[in-house]
Amino acid sequence: VSKQVLEQVLRELQPLCTAEQQFIEKFFQLSQDATELQVLEVSVRTMSSPVPLVKEPTTQLLSEIFSCLEPELRGFLEVCSKVHPFSCLQVLVTLNDSIFEMLGSSSTLRSSFLNTVLGNMLFLAKSRFNKCIETLCKEIEEAKMPSKMKDRILPSVSLFEEFVTFSEEVFRTARQREDLHEAHLRLASSVFSSINSLSSANLKVNTDMVMMENFHHIHCFLCQKKIHCLEGKKREAKQRYSEHMEKYVKYLGQPLEKLNHFFEGVKARVAQGVKEEEVSFQLAYSKQELRKVIEKYPGKEVKGVLETLYRKIHKDLSPEENLLPVVWHAMEQEFIRQYQEFEDLIQRCYAGSGIAMNFTMEDLLSYFNSITLSN
């Protein structure tokens, strides 16, 4: 509504000021310097500072006749900006488009007075827009993290999405998007910082899991929006989501605790300089000790461990992000890697012992497949 009202005001201002200007020029036999108008147009287009009012006779007379115009417009923009938290975007686009249309129209008698007033309004609108973005960035970066994380997607991420969705609709047909591009990048950086700050937060759930879900959420959102200036952030979100998924999988990925602990010890001995063929002579890593550990993990036990792990992942992840299949597949790849590493260490350090795991690679794959199909 504020956009429509502002457009109506601007449409009615143009002929009003033009008619008054024509009357003054005719009555007092005055004319405007074309050079002055060009200087004003450049000032209005760049808008790095308020436009000074040129004190030539026509402009001076118009500024006295319409002395209340600029204060009234300022007040009106103030009201428009309070309609919605992001109303300053609509004000900025409407003013920008109206001024570009006015300056680009060859049939319009241009007024340095109106150019100046609208230029100052545009400067004000840009200032309010920048202030809005600054406030949003601060709000995002300083948001307190809830320890329980009932809603996995951070409020800062939701706020970023709300702004981007609203702004893209407002700027859909805008003639100038540079301000919005800069705002998007600033806000995206603030959101990423907000998610990164989780690493030092005292959460009651796994931090990497929450960070994974939030970066995944942003990546999916940016894929849908297809905003050119945020392509880099989209790629970064994907990379960060993958990194934290890998960390989350590693956090989950040692349910065969005793096997992992045993082989970590074997690797440590080799790293310390013990020859591979001599590892089995170490009391804690003898063939007998290895057999004891392996016996604790028959196929049935391993499948049970994996079923428990699946239930934990299912409980951990929020269903909205639909990451369960992805994480479970990554978990499968991690188990395959571990299994291959165990077998490799047995071959290298316990060669000829006849020792083997109580389940095969085929068994492991069938366990994962069975669990996936039954859930």
Position 238 scores a pLDDT of: 96
Do 294 and 326 belong to one domain?
yes
φ, ψ (nearest 5 deg) of residue 62: -65, -40
Angle at 193 between CA 189 and CA 196, to 5 degrees: 140
Residue 135: inside a domain, yes or no? no
Choosing from 248, 267, 299, the residue where a domain stops is 248
Task: Give how far Cα 272 sits from Cα of 267, 338, 360, Å.
Answer: 9, 21, 30
Last residue of a domain, one of 75, 93, 126: 126
pLDDT of residue 46: 53
Is residue 68 situated within a structural domain? yes
Residue 236 domain-assigned (yes or no): yes
Torsion-angle region of 32 (φ positive above 0: left; ψ -120 to 50: alpha; else: beta):
beta
Let me know whether 14 and 112 are in one domain.
Answer: yes
> Same structural domain for residues 153 and 231?
yes
Question: Are 192 and 240 in a shared domain?
Answer: yes
Which pair of structure tokens corresponds to residue 20? 């008054």
Domain membership flag for residue 131: no
Q: How many helices (H) and strands (E) does the chain have?
A: 15, 0
Backbone angles phi, psi at 78, to 5 degrees: -60, -45
Same domain, 8 and 116: yes
Q: What single string gives the DSSP state of each residue in 240-287? A: HHHHHHHHHHHHH---SHHHHHHHHHHHHHHHTT--GGGGGGSGGG-H
In a domain, residue 355? The reply is yes
Neighbours of 243 (CB within 10 A): 14
Amino acid 375: pLDDT? 78
Do 298 and 223 belong to one domain? Answer: no
Q: What DSSP letter does each residue of 7-59 carry, written as one string?
A: HHHHHHHHHHHHHHHHHHHHHTT----HHHHHHHHHHHHH-SSPPPPP--HHH
Q: How far apart are CA 36 and CA 347, in angstroms?
A: 88
Give the three-class secondary structure for 306: helix
- For the packed helices 299-316 and 231-252, what is the interaxial angle rounded to 10 degrees? 140
Q: Does residue 295 share a domain with residue 201?
A: no
Domain membership flag for residue 109 = yes
Tell me how far apart the alpha carbons of residues 176 and 92 are, in angstroms, rounded to a whole number: 10
* Residue 1, pLDDT score: 55
Domains: count for the chain: 3
Residues 180 and 206 in one domain: yes
**Pairwise CA distance, residues 211 & 216, whole Å:** 8
Going residue by residue through the chain, which has 375 residues, state the pLDDT in tens, using 9 for 90 and above: 567 888 888 888 888 888 888 888 788 777 655 444 444 444 445 555 554 544 577 778 888 888 888 898 888 888 877 777 788 898 899 888 888 877 766 544 556 678 888 888 899 999 999 999 999 999 998 877 665 666 788 989 999 999 999 999 989 888 888 999 999 999 999 999 999 988 877 778 888 999 999 999 999 999 999 999 999 999 999 999 999 999 999 888 777 889 999 999 999 999 999 999 999 998 899 999 999 999 999 999 999 999 999 999 999 898 888 999 999 999 999 999 999 999 999 999 998 889 999 999 999 999 999 999 987
Model pLDDT for residues 265-323, shown as the tens digit of each residue: 999 999 999 999 999 998 899 999 999 999 999 999 999 999 999 999 999 898 888 99
6 belongs to a structural domain: yes
Q: Which residue range is the domain that position 152 belongs to?
A: 143-248
**pLDDT of amino acid 150:** 66
Q: How many alpha carbons fall within 13 Å on the CB side of residue 83? A: 16
Sign of CA dihedral 32, 33, 36, 42: positive
Q: Do 272 and 295 belong together in one domain?
A: yes
Q: Check whether residue 13 and residue 109 sit in a common domain.
A: yes
- Tokens found for residue 186: 């600033």
Identify the pLDDT of residue 35.
44
Phi and psi based region of residue 12 (left: phi greater than 0; alpha: psi -120 to 50; beta: remaining) = alpha
Q: Which of 126, 155, 182 is a domain's end point?
A: 126
Predicted local confidence at residue 368, as pLDDT: 94
DSSP three-state, residue 204: coil
Residues 6+ apart with CB under 8 A from 41: 103, 110, 115
Residue 288 shares a structural domain with residue 360: yes
Q: Confirm whether 114 is domain-assigned.
A: yes
* Together in a domain, 6 and 74: yes
Non-local (6+) Cβ contacts of 111 within 8 A are 17, 18, 21, 32, 59, 62
